[in-house]
């Protein structure tokens, strides 16, 4: 598991370095102006839908694929993969059509608005293909990860920033964000192509033949619904934060984006990479009903990761201003922007150890098919984050939004840790049913 985690982290680190380079190029070409705000606001719509409805496929599909392969053979797992691929592609195409219709309405009705909604709507139209492409990519990524083939899925994350950097440079020469939006869609297409090659090399069909389904998908659909709702609330926190930042004036969305980028990079390198490798591991332990090993692995991984993330976050907060000055302060990005972004970055880094813990705890619940337990906590975190945004942005400006997010994540981590580790008749790590092959927890 350590080797797999380091492999994923290495590719993710490369991708995030390229993402940091993308931020530097964005700052140099666009600064924190209205054009970049329009692109970032437009990107929120397809990325939000892709994260909620397509990204939720991975944590639900991997445990089910492993369970079917363990108990009924690989052929049955391939049947499930084919069914989910066809269904998710059809539904995502329908969602893309609805998104395109809404974007066209925004472009038509938003001419002359303060936020330039006309431009935002047109940019959403250009990025609508992200939704069906993400559906295919995430199903293929889940299949590869379930087989512990992490290299190709990890490699694909380096493609997106590389393609976008090229298009940023092209957009800078032409003076618009149109090419940048088109490049974002083409980056998603590049991911699908590479994942398709990886799937064939792993011996899986790209499009499995349609067969009569002789297994129930009721539990899968329920778990997907629960996790999609949880993901929507989590993504909604970022969406609401950026929407509230837009109310603070021109450039505020860009400043928030710059300031939260380092935390996002570290989350992807550490906890997100770890979550990729621990989910198949936890799922195999659940399928084998190896409860004692599951408990020991969870505690060891959780405690070590949270402590390491906390120490790293503290060190980076101390050097926040030099980091921003070194990486971003040039071209259209001035010293005043540096001060604001450094403040946002410091508050954003506070959430790092809590995000690490939340990610690991969510994966153990996904492996246990207990995503339903996340719903009340995620909804409470969304409401709390919104209220804190409103209260803190009035005093601290855009930095208050980052602080509000960190405070909400800290409380969510405490709540989830209490849920998983609590003792008594309803404790998740106390009430295992060793004879139940499907529903292991009360």
Which whole number is the average pLDDT over 308-332?
85
In 110-177, which ranges are continuous DSSP H helix?
117-127, 130-146, 151-156, 159-174
Q: What is the pLDDT of residue 110?
A: 66
Of the candidate ranges 171-175, 268-272, 282-286, the one whose mean pLDDT is the lowest: 171-175
Lookup result for tokens 């939006």: 181
CB atoms closer than 10 angstroms to residue 434? 7
Q: What pLDDT, in 10s, does the model give residues 165-211?
A: 877 777 655 556 777 788 888 889 999 999 999 998 888 888 888 77
List Cβ neighbours of 23 (8 Å cut-off, separation of 6 or more): 258, 261, 327, 328
| Burial of 190 from C-beta contacts in 10 A (0-12 / 13-18 / 19+) | middle
CA angle 14, 17, 20 (to 5 degrees): 155
Which whole number is the average pLDDT over 83-100?
91
- Rounded Cα distance, 287 and 165, in Å: 43
- Among the listed residues 114, 113, 121, the one whose alpha carbon sits nearest the alpha carbon of residue 45: 121
- Rounded Cα distance, 228 and 51, in Å: 9
Question: Is 124's pLDDT higher than 80?
Answer: yes
Kindly list the domain boundaries of the chain, sorted by start residue: 33-215, 219-442
Question: Is 30's pLDDT higher than 70?
Answer: no
Question: Is 407's pLDDT higher than 90?
Answer: yes
Q: What is the pTM of this model?
A: 0.70
Read off the pLDDT band of 326 (50, 70, 90): confident
List Cβ neighbours of 135 (8 Å cut-off, separation of 6 or more): 50, 53, 54, 57, 88, 89, 91, 92
Q: At what angle do helices 2-30 and 320-328 cross, to 10 degrees?
A: 60
Residues 196 and 51: beta-carbon distance below 8 Å = no
């Amino acid at each position: 598991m350590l080797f797999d985690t380091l492999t994923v982290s290495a590719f993710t680190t490369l991708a995030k370095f390229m993402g940091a380079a993308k931020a530097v190029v964005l700052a140099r070409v666009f600064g924190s102006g209205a054009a970049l705000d329009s692109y970032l606001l437009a990107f929120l719509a397809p990325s939000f839908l892709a994260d909620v409805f397509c990204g939720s496929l991975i944590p639900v599909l991997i445990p089910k694929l492993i369970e079917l392969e363990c108990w009924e053979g690989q052929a049955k797992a391939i049947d499930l993969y084919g069914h989910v691929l066809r269904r998710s592609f059809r539904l995502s195409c329908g969602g893309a059509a609805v998104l395109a219709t809404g974007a066209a309405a925004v472009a038509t009705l938003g001419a002359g608005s303060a936020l330039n909604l006309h431009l935002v709507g047109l940019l959403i139209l250009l990025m609508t293909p992200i939704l069906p492409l993400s559906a295919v990519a995430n199903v293929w990524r889940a299949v590869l990860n379930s087989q512990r083939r992490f290299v190709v899925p990890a490699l694909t994350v380096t493609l997106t920033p590389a393609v976008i950097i090229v298009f940023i440079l092209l957009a800078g020469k032409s003076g618009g964000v149109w090419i940048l939006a088109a490049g974002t869609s083409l980056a998603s297409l590049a991911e699908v192509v590479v994942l398709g090659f990886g799937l064939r090399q792993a011996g899986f069909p790209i499009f499995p033949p349609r067969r009569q389904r002789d297994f129930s998908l009721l539990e899968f659909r329920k778990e997907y619904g629960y996790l999609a709702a949880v993901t929507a609330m989590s993504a909604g926190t970022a969406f609401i934060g950026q929407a509230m930042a837009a109310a603070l004036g021109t450039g505020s969305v860009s400043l928030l984006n710059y300031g939260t980028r380092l935390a996002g990079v570290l989350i992807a390198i550490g906890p997100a990479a770890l979550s990729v490798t621990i989910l198949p591991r936890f799922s195999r332990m659940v399928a084998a009903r190896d409860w004692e090993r599951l408990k020991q692995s969870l505690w060891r991984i959780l405690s070590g990761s949270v402590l390491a993330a906390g120490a790293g976050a503290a060190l980076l907060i101390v050097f926040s201003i030099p980091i921003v000055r070194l990486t971003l302060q040039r071209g259209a990005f001035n010293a005043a922007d540096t001060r604001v972004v450094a403040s946002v970055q410091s508050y954003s880094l506070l959430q790092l150890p809590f995000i690490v813990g939340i990610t690991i705890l969510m994966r153990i619940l996904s492996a246990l098919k207990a995503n339903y337990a996340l719903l009340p906590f995620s909804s409470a975190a969304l409401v709390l984050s919104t209220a804190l945004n409103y209260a803190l942005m009035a005093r601290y400006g855009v930095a208050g939004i980052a602080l509000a997010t960190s405070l909400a994540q800290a409380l969510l981590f405490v709540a989830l840790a209490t849920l998983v580790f609590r003792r008594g008749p309803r404790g998740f790590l106390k009430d295992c049913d060793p004879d139940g092959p499907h529903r292991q927890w009360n």
